[in-house]
Amino acid sequence: MFDIGWTELLLIGIVALIVVGPKDLPGMFHQLGRITARMKGMAREFQRAMDDAARDSGVNDVAKDLREATSARSMGLDKLKDAADRFEKWEPGKQPKGKSPAAPDEEAEAGGLSADRAEAAQKVRDATAKAAADRKAAQAAAGPAAETPPASPVEPAPKGDA
């Protein structure tokens, strides 16, 4: 409660010994102890009365209900914290352990996508894969010269008065 160390207590004792005197010092400490005990008893009695009043009025039940209603778990904040933790640990370009790269459908279902959205996502993936395969087939048919991209047709700016 009070941040008083042994050195402060020793200093207070020496000052009290000088001011009060060695004869009256034990009586003063006895009175101080009785006053302190009486104050502690009154504080205990007050706390007990407050607890009884809270129990009788139902404040404890309301406080418990409020704690439950505002808990992180009931508000979904625990899921948000888990997602934030996963995001902080995420490294772009690395596949998470235990997941195969060809499992986007499983992720979509686990992520809670509706069946329509999952189907649309699958169509997009299929169309992209087909376009990539067509492009590779066209490049293979055109030969090795077609695989290198053509040089840019940008002309250099003229040097001189501009």
What is the identity of the amino acid at 32?
L
Residue 157 pLDDT level (bands cut at 50, 70, 90): low
Q: Is the pTM of this model over 0.75?
A: no
Q: How many CA atoms lie within 13 A of 116 on its CB side?
A: 0
Tell which of 66, 90, 115 closes a domain: 66
| Residue 77 included in any domain | no
Give 14-61 pLDDT, tens digit per residue.
998 899 888 998 898 899 999 999 999 999 999 999 988 888 888 778
pLDDT at 105 over 70: no
What pLDDT, on a 0 to 100 scale, did the predictor assign at position 31?
Answer: 94
Give 107-147 pLDDT, tens digit per residue.
544 555 678 888 888 999 999 999 999 999 988 888 765 55
Please give the tally of structural domains in the chain. Answer: 2
Question: Who contacts 20 (Cβ-Cβ below 8 Å, separation ≥6)?
Answer: 28
How far is it, in rounded angstroms, from Cα 98 to Cα 69?
A: 36
> Could you list the residue range(s) of the whole structural domain that residue 117 is in?
104-141
What is the identity of the amino acid at 8?
E
**Which has more confidence, 66 or 39?**
39
Please identify which residue in the block is written with the tokens 């993936």.
125
DSSP of 9-20: HHHHHHHHHHHH
Give per-residue burial for 59-89: e unless 16+ CB within 10 Å, then b: eeeeeeeeeeeeeeeeeeeeeeeeeeeeeee
| Residue 18 included in any domain | yes
What pLDDT, on a 0 to 100 scale, did the predictor assign at position 36?
Answer: 95
Contact 13, 25 (CB under 8 A): no
What pLDDT, on a 0 to 100 scale, did the predictor assign at position 132?
Answer: 92
Average pLDDT in the chain? 79
Asked if 12 and 61 sit in the same domain, the reply is yes
